[in-house]
Structure 1
């Protein structure tokens, strides 16, 4: 699919650190470059369904987040949100993306990173799209957060719902992340699980960092520093990070453009790729954001 879409896998190094990314097109076109940051335990390839619906001439870069897939795996200092922001900034400079303002898109954990990046490096961005980002103080807690709190209170060492160890747990994770049920043959589920399990210790280390005290509300704490135009895209049926976070962002960033997608869960890029691609391109192509046109939440 990557080849069919014209994406090429590339590597860049900064000192002893290596980033793996895929890209298509060249910077300097009619629209700003797009940099896409994936969520926890995913990879650059999670963006393929969206890239499929982007204009062929759009310069797009999908990077593996710190420690994920082909990007160097180091330690906790790079996995907290601030650490990830520092590494992404290193990546931006390494490939020369900082030469002109670019459009940053992040989902879930990547949305938290994108928001904090926007707070720290406003001069590098033309605008930012946050897709169901983590890192906020949510008025309503999702089913996932409620379960985490229970585990925390009782100090259970049970399995983390986003780190499956059996095919049954993987099916539960897919149900948690998607509103529309995904039915996969057992053999495919087994293959997906076999790919994930060797990384589970790493996933657990990252997870403990991003839900830890330093990172849990890192986006919330920096909302006042964000000056770039912001677009928020959220699945109304998100069970991982509750859609009530969209109202939090709109209250803090009055001119942000909010798009709530009906019958869609946490995995917006997987469930509604065409809609997401169109929303991102519409926002990317705007000359200015008019607060009066921002969709108000009911």
Structure 2
């Protein structure tokens, strides 16, 4: 049973990170999330086709000093999906707002990757009371310099679609500069899950990538009052690094950190470097974190 192999690998990664699985009903959905560590709260929001498990290498680093929560966003992974609901930007932003209120603690940092960054940016613009510092990692939501991925999306296709093992390994080659080795039967388990999500993924991509709300963040980002860390890999073939400069110009207060050699998944490819950048950003802005109720740039090398 291929699924057991994948489950065993995730269990191993949870053990290394000291993470446990939790479930809570917030609003109209049941959320499943990972939690590890103690201390000030960090919340991690995954991207399109992603899951809470994407964050486990980074959680292992961050949990040494912080309490870290990484949910499956509603509709994704082990969180609830409802056939009569939409999972586009506006709906998900309101659900994330409810989820953060559930913990009754303004996070020391919220990090959003790709689609999760798009949602987080809109959250910062529309619910500034809920967040202090935020980090947009390889974030969607702006018109970046044209690349193959963007052209495919705008043509109505899903470049991440996976129905076969060959397509899975092609997908990994898009999102990683140095794709991880995923042997059989783990790759077969991943394919079976992704195959079931093909229609859902297409519907979500219609909303976040080419629908009326696809670039709403570009027009709303000026309303974000929180300090923002923009974290990218120079060789990102999904959300081109030019997006970081677009965010930088549109945000009132931002800092950019660029890495080399990690593609679209810096939190998995370089968790140590990413954790160091996030901790430094938190330390710089820790005084701005209160209970709920300028620019610099540097290049980090391959880690």
2:236 corresponds to which of 238, 248, 256? 238
* SS state at 2:297 partner: coil
How far apart are residue 178 of structure 1 and its match?
0.9
Contact 1:76 1:205 in 2 (8 A): no
Corresponding residue for 2:297?
A: 295
Show the counterpart of 1:88: 96
Aligned to 2:15: 3
The counterpart of 1:67, out of the listed 69, 72, 75, is: 75
After TM superposition, list the pairs within 5 Å mapping 1:169-188 onto structure 2: 169-188=167-186
Residue of structure 1 aligned with 2:220, choices 222, 234, 240? 222
Aligned position for 1:21: 33
Shift of 1:214: 2.7
Hey, what's the Cα distance between the residues in 2 that align with 1:34 and 1:285? 13
Alpha-carbon distance between aligned partners in 2 of 1:68 and 1:277, rounded to the nearest angstrom: 25
Q: TM-score, normalised by structure 1?
A: 0.87
Corresponding residue for residue 114 of structure 1: 120
User: Relative to structure 1, is the Cα distance of residues 96 and 25 closer, same or farther in structure 2, using a 3 angstrom cutoff?
Assistant: farther
CA contact (8 A) 1:84 1:113 kept: yes
CA–CA separation in structure 2 for the residues paired with 1:2 and 1:288: 28
Task: Using structure 2 for the length normalisation, give the TM-score.
Answer: 0.86
Aligned to 1:51: 59
Q: Which runs of 5+ in 2 are unaligned?
A: 1-12, 288-293
Q: Does 2:21 correspond to 1:12?
A: no
In the superposition, relative to structure 1, how do residues 183 and 12 fare at CA in structure 2: closer, same or farther (>3 Å)? closer
Shift of 1:16: 4.5
1:146-161 equivalent positions in 2, closer than 5 A:
146-149=151-154, 151-152=155-156, 160-161=158-159
Aligned to 2:46: 38
CA 1:296–1:268: 2 relative to 1, 3 Å: closer
- 2:143 pairs with 1:141: no
Q: Residue 101 of structure 1 contacts residue 123 of structure 1 at CA under 8 Å; is this kept in 2?
A: no
The structure-2 alpha-carbon separation of the partners of 1:71 and 1:9, relative to structure 1 and needing over 3 Å to count, comes to same
Distance in 2 (alpha carbons) for counterparts of 1:225 and 1:83: 19
**Residue from 171, 186, 189 that aligns with 2:187:** 189
Paired with 2:20 and 2:147, the residues of 1 have a C-alpha distance of: 37
Q: Does 1:130 align with 2:136?
A: yes
**Aligned residue-pair number:** 281
Q: Secondary structure at the match of 2:202?
A: helix
| Range moving further from structure 2, 60-69 or 200-209 | 200-209
Change (3 A) 1:203 1:257: same
Identify unmatched segments of 5+ residues in structure 1: 153-158
Partner of 2:279: 281
| Farther-moved stretch of structure 1 (77-86 vs 8-17) | 8-17
Of 239, 246, 249 in structure 2, the residue corresponding to residue 248 of structure 1 is 246
Q: CA deviation at 1:224?
A: 1.0
The match for 1:156 is none
Deviation, structure 1 residue 262: 1.2
